[in-house]
A = this chain, B = another copy of it.
Amino acid sequence: MPQLQARIHQIQALLKDQHIEALLEVIEQLNIADQAKVLADMPEKQQFEVFSQLQQRSLVLEFMPLPQQLALVIQLPTSELVHVLDAMHSDDFIDLFKALPSALQQQVLPQLSTVSTDVLAQLASYVEGTAGSIMSSNYVTLSPDLNMNEAITALRNLKDNHDTLYLIYIVDEHHHLLGVISLREIIQAHPDAIIQEVMTHDVVSAEVNNDQEIVARTLAHYDFIALPILDDAGRLLGIVTYDDAMDIVEAESTEDILRAGAIAPFEKQSIKTAPILSLYKNRVFWLVILVFGSLLSSFGIANYEDIIEQNIVLVFFLPLLVGSGGNAGSQSATLMVRALATGDVQLKDWFKLIARESLVALCLGLTMAFAVSILGYIRGDHMVALVLAISMTGIVILGCLIGMSLPFILNRLKLDPASASAPLVTSICDATGVVVYLFVASQLLL
């Protein structure tokens, strides 16, 4: 965004002088995405004033987060709101429309152009997170019997504002998808060639009820610009484009990262603006659950209170031993959760992976055992060093195996493997570690 930086100062000066007309002139020259960014950073009052006068305000809206879109459009008079909504791409239009207060929806609905209301009725019914809920109906279709010159003429005369002109879908009279042809193929084929002869017949597509993550991964796998979405009879319902796929991949990664930190993901919110209460709610659940996890460790300790009282030096090494198991375990879980999420690893690979992991865990355990036994000898004696070495090896190996298995178990239970968060794995490994450590100590020191 280097070009944007150059304009920012000019824009800020004009803002300060309340020079709205000159400001509009500068902003209109920016790329749509930058217009949205500049607008988002303005003080609220000027924001609406500028927005309401932008030529391409419908497109600018599409580049803003939903809460901001909403805040702007509800200030528009109804007649203008109808114009703005009618000019948006169908996927963004639907998201915004659904977010409007229902009184406003009722008011606007009869005035929307028929295409929009049709589209709305059709698309609004799909479940959040499916292909249907993110697809756009702004795609181009042609019939299979045109030649390339006729196709180019048809494309030339398109008035509408399509999401992509680069992949053109070929359908029969019932809207069954027959094939796909790229604009590149249309340009490079002989002008008299017929679409049917040039197009790809075996079209890669997704179904309307598929998870949006599958759609994004399919697009990424094939490097396609767009993916057609079909109903179960093979009729074309919409498309999902590469830019939406990129947003999905990013959003799903954020979700996984938050889960890995034991935070319930919150949708379409910035941590700068999310209400304090929802930040609290998304975190307190796991914190309380994990208290019960820690209680496992506590009961482990309670069970061995005698040996602790007699060898208070054991408490000194408790955080270190127990922590190492938790750390090794959360490393394993992190590797596994990510590999499952990117499709690098499937359930069937579990046995092979466990074997590899055991070997890695053994090496890690022995390294750690060596390090900790030196500390044990310095602070205690050779028996303490032995207890530490044996426990550390066992704790690290167990930690790795737990960390590696938990995501698979969750997956088998049809839960999101990303819920095997570092804190959860840590709690379980901690408890295991306490028991292993104090058991080994009680055998060797009593």
Contacts and interface: CB of A to CB of B under 8 A. Distances in A.
B320 A291 contact: yes
Interface stretch (A15-23, A49-57, A169-177, A221-229): A221-229
A128 to B, nearest CB: 21
A122 B122 CA distance: 52
Contacts of A220: 243, 246-247, 250
Interface in A203-261: 204-207, 218-223, 225, 242-243, 245-247, 249-250, 253-254, 256-258, 260-261
B371 A288 contact: yes
A426 B261 CA distance: 11
Contacts of A188: 155-156, 158
Please report whether the interface of chain A is mostly helix, strand, loop or mixed according to DSSP.
Answer: helix
A367 to B, nearest CB: 6
Contacts of A219: 246
A87 interface: no
Contact of A335 (B156, B261, B339, B363): B261
A293 B327 CA distance: 11
A270 interface: yes
A298 B312 contact: no
Given A1-B218, A249-B250, A326 B426 contact: yes
A272 B323 contact: no
A409 interface: no
Contact of A246 (B245, B344, B371): B245
Q: Which 7 A-B pairs have the closest CB atoms?
A: A261-B334, A297-B319, A253-B253, A294-B320, A223-B243, A422-B422, A294-B323
